[in-house]
């Protein structure tokens, strides 16, 4: 059997396997589009008090994550900076030709491992502070909608 005939037979066999799947997919798509409840927003099952408690839990959890990231990041940054400082100073003593700029860059490079979680933690502590939580909840109780970033963060586990 020639190679061209074998490829043609394989192509037709593949099409016949995929054709029923495509037909079923189109049928299911038609049924889904024709049903009136598809695409309609679900009724909001939570009360205002449930939402307030969920926002409080969200803020508490994010603040705790910020505290943990900051508590881990600061010591790691300090240890990395000290190790970088001593390592570059020791290297400068051995070579007797290293400048201050290379010592500073090595120290900053060593501390950068801890600076990332520290920055993330401080950012979370600022964004999810108690003051911002109180302002947000007061506005929500007075009738304003929740901000979009809070609505995106609220998951069913918070309710």
**Closest C-alpha among 146, 157, 140, 154 to residue 59:** 154
The answer on 103 and 85 residing in a single domain is yes
Q: Which two tokens stand for residue 73?
A: 């990041």
Range of the domain at 103: 44-158
The answer on 55 and 86 residing in a single domain is yes
Q: Give the C-alpha separation, 60 to 80, whole Å.
A: 30
The answer on 114 and 74 residing in a single domain is yes
The answer on 51 and 12 residing in a single domain is no
pLDDT in tens, 74-113: 999 988 888 887 777 766 666 665 555 677 777 788 888 8
User: Which residue do the tokens 């790691």 mark?
Assistant: 76
The answer on 34 and 58 residing in a single domain is no
The answer on 12 and 55 residing in a single domain is no
**Global pTM value:** 0.61
The answer on 58 and 30 residing in a single domain is no
User: Average of pLDDT values for 121-145?
Assistant: 94
Q: How far is CA 61 from CA 27, 55, 65, in A?
A: 45, 10, 6
pLDDT in tens, 134-158: 999 999 999 999 998 898 888 888 8
The answer on 33 and 53 residing in a single domain is no
> Of 26-35, 43-52, 119-128, where does the model show the most confidence?
119-128
Cβ atoms within 10 A of the Cβ of 84, count?
21
């Amino acid at each position: 059997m020639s190679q061209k005939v074998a490829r043609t037979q394989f192509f037709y066999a593949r099409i016949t396997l995929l054709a029923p799947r495509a037909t079923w997919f189109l049928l299911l798509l038609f049924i889904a589009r024709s049903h009136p409840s598809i695409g309609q927003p679900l009724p909001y099952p939570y009360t205002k008090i449930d939402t307030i408690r969920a926002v409080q839990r969200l803020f508490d959890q994010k603040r705790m994550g910020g505290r943990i990231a900051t508590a881990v990041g600061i010591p790691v940054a300090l240890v990395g900076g000290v190790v970088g400082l001593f390592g570059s100073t020791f290297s400068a003593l051995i070579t007797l030709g290293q400048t201050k700029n290379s010592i500073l860059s090595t120290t900053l490079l060593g501390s950068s491992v801890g600076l990332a979680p520290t920055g993330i933690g401080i950012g979370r502590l600022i964004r999810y502070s108690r003051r911002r939580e109180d302002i947000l909840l007061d506005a929500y109780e007075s009738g304003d909608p929740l901000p979009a970033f809070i609505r995106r963060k609220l998951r069913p586990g918070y309710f």
